[in-house]
Amino acid sequence: MPATAGPDKPQRMSKQTQITRKTVKDIAKAKGGTPLVMLTAYDAPMAELMDPHVDMLLVGDSLGMVVHGLPSTVGVTMEMMILHGQAVMRGSEQAFVVVDMPFGSYETSEDQAFLNAVRIMKETGCQAVKIESGAYAAKQISHLVERGIPVMGHVGLRPQAINVDGGFRAKGRTETEREIVINEARAADRAGAFAIVIEGVAEDLAAEITAEVSCPTIGIGASASCDGQVLVAQDMLGLFDWAPKFVRRYADLRAETESAVKAYADDVRSRKFPGKAETYSLRKP
């Protein structure tokens, strides 16, 4: 039985101690102020650990690669996003939760985007959705916002476009690319996005976009000038043997996990586990 289960586990909150989640207004007020803290979350236990320390949790379609071992985010489905979104909502209390709309769920039309966004929000209870904001996306963003769905944009390196770009590579490092990225950010801002993720762009371009758009920007491989930062939690925690250039590792949980698993395996094989402390004995009447 997992440690989180059981009838004796106390309730996480009562009516007297109920915590209110952050809102779109809270995020908007951060523009130009103390940087927003955002991390990805894909399950309830990790969401619970991160919740007190972050402003936002992103249920990113990166879960396809991080959790499910897919080669890219392209194969992620609506069902996967909803399942993980539900788990993160159960594990968190105060963070503003954003769920990615997966590849193919919003590009065709405004109506397609709306119906899928409604499904995500209804079935997870999240506060917003995120879409990768190509040139086509402004209409979808505007359509969703007008109908009551907060939308976070995403410009620069767009993982769902990996097959067009031929891989994951930084954007905005040529004049032509710079113009494309900044125009996408402008369009998302004008369409009503409450925040925009800027991924994998030249530092000065991220600073330029942040200064120009009215909504907060969230950098990942962008610039400290952004209004906030996001990282994939597993990258930041050192759970993989490789991480992108823009990641700073704050722990080495891969090595710690391997060491713990080896110690467990050694104890099992030598019959040191379970020991007396981990076994039950007959109760005397």
Q: Residues 25-81: pLDDT tens digits?
A: 999 999 999 999 999 999 999 999 999 999 999 999 999 999 999 999 999 999 999
Q: Which pTM value belongs to this model?
A: 0.90
Q: Nearest to residue 40, comparing CAs of 101, 98, 113?
A: 98
CA 186/CA 155 separation, integer angstroms: 10
To the nearest 10°, report the CA torsion of 96, 139, 78, 125.
30
**Which residue in this structure is represented by tokens 């788990």?**
87
Domain layout of the chain by residue ranges: 24-252
- 259 or 162: which carries more pLDDT confidence? 259
Q: How far apart are CA 148 and CA 215, in angstroms?
A: 17
Could you tell me which residues are annotated as the binding site for 3-methyl-2-oxobutanoate?
Answer: 61-62, 100, 130
What count of residues does the chain have? 285
For 202-261, how does the pLDDT look when each residue is reduced to its tens digit (9 = 90+)? 999 999 999 999 999 999 999 999 999 999 999 999 999 999 889 999 999 999 999 999
Residue 61 class from Cβ within 10 Å (0-12 exposed, 13-18 middle, 19+ buried)?
buried
Q: State the fold for domain 24-252.
A: TIM Barrel (3.20.20)
Determine the 3-state secondary structure of 229 from DSSP: strand
As a whole number of angstroms, the distance between CA 76 and CA 108 comes to 17
6: confidence class by pLDDT, cuts 50, 70, 90? very low
pLDDT at 165: 66
Binding-site members for Mg(2+) are: 61, 100, 132
Catalytic residues: 199
Give start and end residues of each alpha helix (H) in 23-109.
Answer: 24-28, 44-50, 63-66, 78-91
Which residues participate in the annotated binding site? 61-62, 100, 130, 132
Residue 224 to residue 218: CA distance in whole angstroms: 10
4: pLDDT strictly greater than 70? no
pLDDT attached to residue 195: 98
pLDDT digits (tens, 9 = 90+) for 177-195: 899 999 999 999 999 999 9
What is the structure's pLDDT at 134?
81
Query: Tell me, what's the pLDDT at 176?
Result: 87
133: its two tokens: 């904001």
Residues 112-131 have a mean pLDDT of 98
Residue 1 has pLDDT above 50, yes or no: no
